[in-house]
Structure 1
């Protein structure tokens, strides 16, 4: 880019010449701002030969994934109420040593969990995911990023807004958050379509011929997005909110894709894992800390004693010097001739 600052001015939006914003995280601007939104699912791919993967009997899966902060007294970042805890080993080369998988925890509709949240995808399946930002833990729009794929964006559903003021009115009615409580109290951990005829890929108004492709998509507050991939890239891929604080706090999960198609781990391949301090080692570590502290204390003692001895010695020298000086002073008075002064006897 050139070093010269741009001289253009922001366009003034008027009723006769309205502004247009693409990919708004909501549906309407206030009317007096004279700005129109073009939702991302209104865009179309320029490629004419890249349709979305179709529904195939026996090879189609659908998952509802809620990126939110559900809770009652605490509100951790999570996906379906699960805050991601990374495995302590390499999940690709040492999968049998993953001990904190969510199957070993009791995660429920209205419960928070922290474990290694992984979604297993069978090779060749068409996988439809419904990304949500709903329920009691809905937050500001989340940019969800998927590693390993660029996905097809088939549809987006936004919250209900006032068309005049642009104010939020209600969460999208297409989703049933379940949980046995009202929507505004539901964790939305086990969501589904409110209209059950939409299951199995039968969602109306899906763009299947020219859907745009993304690897990061903003999920609107109180709304959802329908995306698809074909599971054809073996690996263990992370999918997470691209706001660093949310991801670090647990708003992420793993895609365990086409595991059977991964190459075998080479013989003598290095392994890794957590370093755990055993009780005896911990005691020894504490003892060594005590020893170090004692050694430091003794070192301080010797330093202090040495400094004090030096100060006393210097004071003693000063006293002796003053004593001899007073004697010389009494004998350095000039004699009658004024020719001698013991203090300057070298001249």
Structure 2
């Protein structure tokens, strides 16, 4: 074992300290500024909540797949089950295995596997890629172990990671999960690819004999199976990965951490939206004023009061010399004969107008446009 002296450590610290320490200080300061300037926590947005729901069910699904007693779990390693060593004769291994089968009889799969257990290479393939690869591959050869790798890798390693990457892409999609979750898209994708690369690297480089302990190589302890371990640990890694993703999306979406201020485009969109809302409100109020004016003109008492007010205004302006008050006001359109006749027919129910429904609609409209006026009057 290589020993590292204190002088070597001291030299490394002297060389790397001027580079590492300023970066640590800057990271600490930026973190403090980000925490001090972050806004107050908010409720979880609906889009982020949708992404967290998907991740919750994904974590639950992967946790179930990581349990050794789930319906899709691989059969136990026959070496560990029968407490056999790597060099135990095939007949002894399967005679012990028959004790764990119904009526002490090997199944058809056991018999097929027994016919393949002809050499140490076949046992290494079993421990590395599982029984299905050893017995089901038609083009594989023990002289070319990589042929078993080509058979095993696409469906047992790459396909689960591809499904997981699709899931990560969905929960970090801006239309589905919102802007906060989409900000993690590149980082989650790189982490998922790194996990897939690490899994593939283990499958490529693992050797059941060379990677085993000295006791296994000496024939003292039963060998462990990479196939059985990765089949259960891979879903567990997916569950942990998705749990971390859910936590990061939650703290980002609720402004608890990793807060990013809105971009210029988002600020412009927000300003335009608020301006459009203000214009829409002003248009509604102007329309309400017009409707109120029409209601005043149609009511005889209110119209008389309105006419009296404007006659008074005209008279006051005439007295001050601003307007000429000698002219007669023009005839009101509501006093014309045809208009009066049409309104009489409508009030009598002959114009095809449902006055009761019209009254309810008018009351709802008035209540909507005058909401808050009482509060404004009191203040």
Q: TM-score range by the shorter chain?
A: under 0.3
Task: Give the structure with the higher percent strand.
Answer: 1
Task: Give the structure with the higher percent helix.
Answer: 2
Normalising by the residue count of structure 1, what TM-score does the alignment of the two structures yield?
0.24
